[in-house]
Amino acid sequence: MTTTEATPTVTTPAVEPAATAAVVSPSRTLSIVGFVLGIVSLVTGQAVIMPAAAIILGVLGYRQEPAGRTFSIFAIVLGSIALFGWMILGALGLAFALPFLALGDWAWGWGF
């Protein structure tokens, strides 16, 4: 009697290509928009709305976007300079003008 042994068939599983992870760049939208608003408010001389928006977007970007912290800090600083800089200049102008206003009309040579 002859015996034939069954040889086991080895099958290798089909190798599927590995899925590549999509590289997603971190979001910096709020930070960049706040930064641009800060620059534009300084250049155009806006004193209330654009600097306030730059500060708000800078704070939101600082809290929500770790990758855009530098832009956020610049947005907050530029917005603050644009918002409070005009107030400081106005206060300095008033402080400069007060001595002349306190002297009255005769300081200008009009008093009798």
Rounded Cα distance, 17 and 23, in Å:
18
In a domain, 52, yes or no: yes
In a domain, 17, yes or no: no
- Record the pTM: 0.64
Residue 17 pLDDT greater than 80, yes or no: no
Confidence (pLDDT) at 77: 96
Confidence (pLDDT) at 56: 96
Confidence (pLDDT) at 1: 59
CA distances from 26 to 22, 65, 72 (A): 12, 8, 14
- Chain segment 81-91, per-residue pLDDT in tens: 998 888 888 89
In a domain, 38, yes or no: yes
In a domain, 105, yes or no: no
- Chain segment 50-106, per-residue pLDDT in tens: 999 999 999 999 999 999 999 999 999 999 999 888 888 889 998 998 887 777 665
In a domain, 109, yes or no: no
Q: Could you tell me the residue range of the domain that residue 50 belongs to?
A: 29-100
Domain count, the chain: 1
In a domain, 61, yes or no: yes
103 or 28, which is more confident: 28
Confidence (pLDDT) at 64: 93
**Which are the contacts of 79, defined by CB distance < 8 A and separation ≥ 6?**
34, 37, 38, 41, 50, 51, 52, 53, 54, 55, 58
In a domain, 73, yes or no: yes
Task: Please check whether residue 37 is in contact with residue 75, taking contact to mean a CB–CB distance below 8 angstroms.
Answer: yes
In a domain, 111, yes or no: no
Q: Which of 35, 34, 47 is nearest to 90 (CA)?
A: 47
